[in-house]
Amino acid sequence: MAETDSPPHVAILPSPGMGHLIPLVELAKRLVHQHNLSITFIIPTDGSPSKAQRSVLGSLPSTIQSVFLPPVNLSDLPEDAKIETLISLTVARSLPSLRDVFTSLVSSGTRVVALVVDLFGTDAFDIAREFKVSPYIFYPAPAMALSLFFYLPKLDEMVSCEYRDMPEPVEIPGCLPIHGGEMLDPTQDRKNDAYKWLLHHSKRYRLAEGVMVNSFVELEKGALKALHEAEPGKPPVYPVGPLVNMDPNTSGVEGSECLKWLHDQPLGSVLYVSFGSGGTLSYDQITELALGLEMSEQRFLWVVRTPNDKDIKVALRPQAGENGLIGREEIANVVRGLMEGEEGKSVRNRMKDLKDLAAEVLGEDGSSTKALAEVTRAHPRSCNKEPTMNYKPNVWTRLEKHNSRGETLDKTGRPQLDCTDRMPPSRVIFSIALGH
């Protein structure tokens, strides 16, 4: 098949870790179902693929393929190397293997039109440039963190001390000022390689054709307004979230005893406690949190991981004691206030509103659905040109009356499906997310 006649194809390179893979899988599903694209996941590793990775990827339709790159060797790194360093080097050392996969795709007649990486995958842009493929970023974290990424090179030039030692709060564009000690973990030690990698990637974000962020305007108006402000060299930002897996058949938790218990609880009565796929607490802090949750006498569902001794940041802002731990009494008081108090009532109402808004933005005429459609219509520029805010005709998609699966397409080229994925009534009223 001639290259110009082959359907458009997108390569997706997730950073190692399930927390990176899952939202990109959801992005891939939407590109396939709404825009008639085919996908290949190209996955860097430093060991054997996990059972969870294989399970998620094995559940995808035939239009979404996956390739695991040969494991890279990280044995030369110190034992205390941080996760940002490990991820970045895994991607960087996988570039020769990534080139081989691209060569194979192109030689087979596959028309690769875009490479999508996540927040630590920008070194793969070099391969995209070689094959004249448009580079994009999918940012799975909040828009506030993305705003920091774009601002970090300037902040790095302006500030000579550690950010935590700054006398004034850091003013991230579009966000409330925060103390330097509350910024992302890798920014806390500017001499560490983790910070150097973070700065390296943040500088390369401007090489992207565009940046998709897993958020929506109603959730982060200030940050997204700042990200949408045009400035020389900044690529367009598309809020396409929230992209979450709502299918229990592919989440690996169907039949879980925890979910059976959850379904038996009253609506809005359960507190969900999670630290993300890579977030853990010290043993002492886990003990205090467990006892505090028990003392609160509230229903809760907690995803527990093996403890370590990392510092924590707590989204709900309970006060830490002199030993740096959040005590059980403080945790119990905060939880009771959230679940029963007047202040908690306003938070719960806000979360319910955001849940409804999240369903709306993912609907057929929702803002996130339209933003993703805009990405697929954006004309790629040469990798050597400056980013532009001006869009040209469609190159990702080829609009027809029907797609390859026989589904009728609407006027924008999306299948006319009931794909709103309305979120079911929730027993979970709020979540505690303690960052790492």
Number of domains in the chain: 2
Q: Which residue has the higher pLDDT, 434 or 338?
A: 338
Query: What is the structure's pLDDT at 306?
Result: 61
Task: Provide CB contacts within 8 A for 241, sequence distance 6+.
Answer: 23, 213, 214, 215, 216, 368
> Which of 2-6, 113-117, 184-188, 349-353 is predicted least confidently?
2-6
Q: Model pTM?
A: 0.77
433 has pLDDT over 50: no
Domain annotation covers residue 414: no
Closest CA to 288 of 339, 325, 335: 325
Closest CA to 187 of 97, 95, 311, 360: 311
Q: With bands split at pLDDT 50, 70 and 90, how would you rate the model's confidence at 326?
A: confident
40 has pLDDT over 80: yes
424 has pLDDT over 60: no
If asked whether residues 191 and 282 sit together in one domain, one would say no
Query: What is the structure's pLDDT at 429?
Result: 44
Domain annotation covers residue 97: yes
* Percentage of the residues of the chain whose pLDDT score is greater than 90: 51
Domain annotation covers residue 308: yes
> Which of 34-38, 301-305, 382-386 is predicted least confidently?
382-386
Instruction: Give the model confidence (pLDDT) of 108-160 as tens digits.
Output: 999 999 999 999 999 999 999 999 999 999 999 999 999 999 999 999 999 99
* Percentage of the residues of the chain whose pLDDT score is greater than 70: 79
379 classed as catalytic: no
Query: What is the structure's pLDDT at 150?
Result: 97
From residue 328, give the alpha-carbon distance in Å to each of 125, 282, 297, 321, 432.
47, 14, 12, 11, 15
Catalytic site residue from 20, 33, 35, 201: 20
If asked whether residues 276 and 219 sit together in one domain, one would say no
Domain annotation covers residue 411: no
Q: Which residue has the tokens 């202040």?
A: 343
Q: Which residue has the higher pLDDT, 193 or 350?
A: 193
If asked whether residues 351 and 369 sit together in one domain, one would say no
Instruction: Give the model confidence (pLDDT) of 54-70 as tens digits.
Output: 989 999 999 999 999 99
Which run of H or E residues covers position 432? Answer: strand 428-435
> Which of 164-168, 173-177, 237-241, 264-268 is predicted least confidently?
264-268
> Which of 29-43, 126-140, 159-173, 392-406 is predicted least confidently?
392-406
432 has pLDDT over 80: no
Mean pLDDT of the chain: 81
Query: What is the structure's pLDDT at 274?
Result: 79
If asked whether residues 236 and 297 sit together in one domain, one would say no
419 has pLDDT over 70: no
If asked whether residues 297 and 368 sit together in one domain, one would say no
Burial class (CB in 10 A: 0-12, 13-18, 19+), 9: buried
403 has pLDDT over 60: no
Domain annotation covers residue 186: yes
Instruction: Give the model confidence (pLDDT) of 265-313 as tens digits.
Output: 998 888 888 776 556 678 788 888 888 888 998 998 887 766 655 443 3
252 has pLDDT over 70: no
Domain annotation covers residue 397: no
Catalytic site residue from 118, 123, 185, 193: 118
Query: What is the structure's pLDDT at 396?
Result: 52
DSSP result, 39-58: EEEEE--SSSPPHHHHHHHH
CB atoms within 10 A of CB 328: 18
If asked whether residues 232 and 166 sit together in one domain, one would say yes
Domain annotation covers residue 390: no
Domain annotation covers residue 223: yes
The CATH number of whichever domain residue 99 belongs to comes to 3.40.50.2000
With the CA atoms of 232, 397, 106 and 5 taken in that order, what torsion angle do they form, in degrees rounded to the nearest 10? -130
DSSP result, 260-316: HHHHTSPTT-EEEEE--TT----HHHHHHHHHHHHHHT-EEEE----------EETT
If asked whether residues 35 and 139 sit together in one domain, one would say yes
If asked whether residues 279 and 368 sit together in one domain, one would say no
If asked whether residues 104 and 238 sit together in one domain, one would say yes
> Which of 192-201, 303-312, 351-360, 378-387 is predicted least confidently?
378-387
If asked whether residues 67 and 146 sit together in one domain, one would say yes
Per the structure, the complete domain to which residue 270 belongs is given by 257-355+425-435
418 has pLDDT over 60: no
20 classed as catalytic: yes
If asked whether residues 179 and 72 sit together in one domain, one would say yes
Query: What is the structure's pLDDT at 353?
Result: 87
| DSSP state letter for 401 | S
Query: What is the structure's pLDDT at 390?
Result: 33
If asked whether residues 78 and 214 sit together in one domain, one would say yes
DSSP result, 149-165: HHHHHHHHHH--S-GGG
| DSSP state letter for 232 | T
